[in-house]
Structure 1
Amino acid sequence: MSTTPEQKDSNAAGSTGSRELPSAFITPIAFGTILQPLNSSMIAVALVGIRSSFDAGSSVTWLVSALYLATAVSAPAMGRIADVFGARRASLAGFALVGLASVAAPFAPDIPLLVVCRVLIGIGTAAQYPCGVAMVRRAADELRAKPGNALATLAVCSQVSVALGPTLGGLLVGGLGWPGVFWINVPLALVGAAVMLRWGPADPPLERTGRAAALLRVDPVGMLLFTVALTALMFWLLSLAGSVRWWWLVIAVPAGAATAWWSLRREEPFLDMRLLGHRSLSLTYLRTIVTYTAFYCVFYGIPQWLEEARDLGPVGAGLVMLPIPLVGVLSTILSNRLHRTRSPWASLVIGSAALCAGGLLLLVPDADTPIPLLLVIAGVLGLPNGFNNMGNQRAMYAVAPAEHVGAASGLYRTSQYVGANLAAAVLVLSLGATPTDPGLHLMGLAVTAIAAFLLVTALLGGARARRG
């Protein structure tokens, strides 16, 4: 029987040992990964206070979009920096940036400067996931250990923190006002940096004479071209919800072409198009974009409907949504166990099928639906998260070249936030300005269609792997 490229890459991924990485190693890495999901969701409950404090209008929505844009652009950049300078060094620099920006944010005199602080927080938090995956990969290779528990822990931390963000944010805003969602980052960044310094795996030594050369290896020109291309693309995606601004696409396409041209000319480019030319890796990014489009539709769309159409208020809506992260943690654990004997395709098939079922269930609720039924629907919608997240994450880890795993995992994070911006457009087109029962049902149909596409691709991928 011949060996497929995916199997070859998986065999090279370092999971050759019989033991898992020790928990003392995983803890400092996992702690940092909670910062980005928390900051993406806590801000939702602070927007009303910020709008009132600055007498601002719709401009406060940039506090949400700015973080997504900064994360989408900077995640692969920080991953590349981690590959060149060392993952722990890049992680510590990210903690420092988050702490400094969070101290300054409550004193911002206007919305634009507050947005700048959010951008800096986005850059700092974006460093933690690609740095974490790079440290896991290096340790797994050196210790000949399995990365399963480490990757599962990263997935659980991400899901739990993004789901609990609004609850924590509500408590902070209630006690400290809107600055509370920024103040909380200061102790978290300090603790994260201290834990990383104490227990984080040390980077290889960096020769002093080689730092300038190492900086050039990061490829600042390629980074700039990629930033322009992706930022323009994200602005275009955000405009799909209203008046489409095609001129952003006019900027994005040539900037993307210039990024590819520059990448193919350099031996060590920031964004290696030869890496994207790896079919399995590119398909993983595509699946991730589509998966997170559905995820963010559910995560942001249902609470709006619960608050306004079902009239539960923010506290009631948050409690009804609680089964999603709880079941998501359980499905992550089950998916991790499944990966011990099966390929990532098994998790992706289960996750896609569960998402399809959840999307169909969204056709049922109306303004009079009893709470127990809503809790059941939320539980079903939590089931696909762990399986899809772990499946895509494992697939990326298996096929990414070891020397570029930081950049590859950064692009994986970018894919998630491209999906988030696509979800914003889907929500406006389906729910409109005021969520209604028909709007929720239309969103459910969109989620079902996305899940059906993911299920077909997962079944085909699994069949292709078995034939190989």
Structure 2
Amino acid sequence: MSVLVKDSAGARQSRRIPIRVSGSVAAGSILQPLNSSMIAIAIVGIAAQFGSSSGIAWVISGLYIATAVAAPMAGRLGTLLGARRVYLGGLAIVSLGSIVGILAPTVGWLIFARVLIGIGTATQYPNAMTMIRGYAERHRAQPRSAITTLTVCSQATVSLGPTLGGLLVGAFGWHSIMWINLPVAALSAILVTRFARVGPARGTPVGHRQLLRKLDVVGALLLLVLISSTMLFLLSLTNDPTWWLIPLWMIALAAFVRRERRAEEPFIDVRALTRNRALSATLARTLLTYSAFYCVYFGVPQWLQYSRGMSATQAGLTMLPVAAVGALTTLIASRTYARHGARRTLAVGTGALLVGGLLLASVESSTAPILVLLMVAVVLGIPNGFNNIGNQNLVSSVTSLEEVGTAIGMYRTVQYIGANFAAVVLATTSGHVIGDDGLHRTGWFIAVVGTVLLVGVLISRNMGDRRRAHAR
């Protein structure tokens, strides 16, 4: 057995997944991060058109709730029906949601459009990861470089969203963040159809009843109730807390765990999650990371517009260093992970998050020169690449090919629970007026999260060399 593992590892080190394959499956994955972060710039114009009603908050949260629920289902569907087939179906849903958003006459229709986009964009990442892992298994190639490409497209581009959104909104209005999805989805569909023939297009043939059983629809519905009640409660904390959701959440959690422990084909294998401490720790770390992450990408652009009086275009350009540094550090982090493993990679990422939080907490941002703000933005771009590469490679290395799609779906789920938690944090730290004091409090929150994550990474026992070798 040890000889086989050694031979396989040597073969993987000598062969990489072609860029035509990794690039094609990664292309569509930029849709989710762009749609999640461009809204930070566009929301000011949306509120101006539809009014600053409570429904505006759901324009942001609707996408996150839909993505959080749909991501595990998308990974599971990809395993059953074929990853490429589900991937392309998601692109069609994104296109439909974008058209609805462009034509939306009311904020309710706009929320519906964002939900459709959230469902559609949930399919790309887990199924791209499944296709990458499938190719690596069949051709004995190392998946690390392909995961880096996927990470740059699906995660580092989050920080590009405010810049691109600022340029689009400044030139064409907020509707432009909807129609930009159409050419991206079309191009991605062409590339995946042409180059990503990396496995069976239709998955394993199953009948309708067998499909429902394998999908564990009851477990999926319980997960929907669990995630929705969690997010609804978090969103209510800043106004009138809906305390009655707590017992509903507890009942849903107990029912979900009971169901998944007994299900023949569980939607989320709770028993495996309990046994796989490395995966559980990675998901918990991801939740905290993205809570801080979205505080930056939601909070800073809005502060630049409201407090500094910048236009959408100016605010977006000020965030550009975050995007540029995030993309660069993703490439550096990939090499760091290959040479030194997850612990050092994540230590750099969490340490930079701590430093970035301290800078936000101390800079006198209303009077600081723009050069100072750009330097802070540079520091805030560093955590993105290192944390994403470290956590995503850990998820890939501690799960099997059959499990990775669902595991990555769960990774996305906790990511967007973190996004909603960030919205609550910003509403709490900013108060009724967006100003320096609120930005400083947000910075202290990010610094505390960075400290907790850094300590956790340094003392963790779930980042050994065995997993690093497997990831290669």
SS of equivalent residue, structure 1 residue 339: helix
Q: 2:88 aligns with which of 92, 95, 99?
A: 92
Displacement of 1:419:
0.9
Provide the C-alpha distance between the structure 1 equivalents of 2:180 and 2:76, rounded to a whole number of angstroms: 28
Is 1:31 aligned to residue 27 of structure 2? yes
- What is the CA–CA distance in structure 1 between the aligned matches of 2:57 and 2:238, rounded to whole Å? 14
* Maintained 8 Å contact 2:159/2:326: no
Give the equivalent residue in structure 1 for 2:411: 412
Counterpart for residue 250 of structure 1: 247
* More divergent stretch after superposition (388-397 vs 339-348): 339-348
- Corresponding residue of 2:470: none
Q: Compute the displacement of 1:176 (Å).
A: 4.5
Of residues 75, 96, 102, the one that matches 2:98 is: 102
Where does structure 1 differ by over 6 angstroms across 4 or more consecutive aligned residues? Answer: 9-15
Q: In the aligned structure 1, how far is the partner of 2:423 from the partner of 2:415?
A: 13
Aligned residues: 462
Relative to structure 1, the CA distance from residue 46 to residue 439 in structure 2 (aligned partners, 3 Å threshold; closer, same or farther) is: closer
What runs of 5+ residues in structure 2 fail to find an aligned partner?
A: 468-472
Q: CA deviation at 1:461?
A: 1.9
The structure 2 residue matched to 1:286, chosen from 275, 284, 302, is: 284
Calculate the aligned-residue CA RMSD, in Å.
Answer: 2.6
Classify the secondary structure of the residue corresponding to 1:146.
coil
Q: State the SS of the aligned residue for 2:266.
A: coil
Equivalent-residue separation in structure 2 for 1:441 and 1:76 (angstroms): 36
Counterparts of 1:385 and 1:449, CA distance in 2: 17
Q: Quote the offset at 1:173 in angstroms.
A: 3.7
2:221 corresponds, among 216, 219, 224, to 224
Provide the rounded CA distance (Å) in 1 between the counterparts of 2:289 and 2:186: 33
Q: Trace 1:179-258 onto structure 2 (pairs within 5 A).
A: 179-204=175-200, 206=203, 210=207, 212-258=209-255
Amino acid at match of 1:291: T
User: Following the alignment from structure 1 to structure 2, what is the Cα–Cα distance between the partners of residues 301 and 207?
Assistant: 45
Inter-partner Cα distance in structure 2 for 1:167 and 1:409: 27
Does residue 1:46 correspond to 2:45, yes or no?
A: no
Aligned match of 1:273 = 270
Flag the 1:196–1:466 CA change in 2: closer, same or farther, 3 A: closer
1:14/1:146 contact within 8 Å kept:
no
Q: Which has the larger displacement, 252-261 or 206-215?
A: 206-215
Instruction: Indicate conservation of the 8 Å contact 1:67/1:118, yes or no.
Output: yes
Code of the aligned partner of 1:242: N
TM-score by length of 1: 0.92
- Relative distance call for 1:179 and 1:370 in structure 2 (3 A) is closer
Give 5+ residue unaligned stretches, structure 1: 4-8
Give the Cα separation in 1 of the matches to 2:394 and 2:288: 15
Asked if 1:264 corresponds to 2:261, the answer is yes
Distance in 1 between residues matched to 2:11 and 2:422, nearest whole Å = 35
Aligned match of 1:344: 342
Preserved CA contact (<8 Å) 2:102 2:175 = yes
Q: 2:119 pairs with 116, 123, 127, which one? A: 123
Q: Distance in 2 between matches of 1:69 and 1:236?
A: 12
- Checking the alignment, whether the CA contact within 8 Å between 1:10 and 1:398 is kept in structure 2 is no
The answer to whether the 8 A contact 1:15-1:147 is kept is no
Partner Cα distance (2:217, 2:8) in 1? 30
Residue 178 of structure 1: aligned partner: 174
Which range moves more in the overlay, 134-143 or 194-203?
194-203
Q: Post-superposition shift, 1:255?
A: 0.9
How many percent of aligned residue pairs carry the same amino acid? 45
Aligned residue in 2 for 1:6 = none
User: Per-residue CA shift, 1:16-71, capped at 9, x if unaligned?
Assistant: 44222110111111111011111112233333443444456231221111001101
Q: Structure 1's 244 and 116: CA in aligned 2 closer, same or farther, altered over 3 A? A: same
Relative to structure 1, the CA distance from residue 268 to residue 232 in structure 2 (aligned partners, 3 Å threshold; closer, same or farther) is: same
Residues 366-400 of structure 1, C-alpha deviations (whole Å, 9 max, x = no match): 12212222221111111111111111111111112
Distance apart, 1:452 and its partner CA: 0.6
Secondary structure at the aligned position of 1:310 is classed as coil
Verify the 8 A CA contact 1:13 1:397 in the aligned structure 2. Answer: no
Q: Which amino acid aligns with 1:378?
A: A
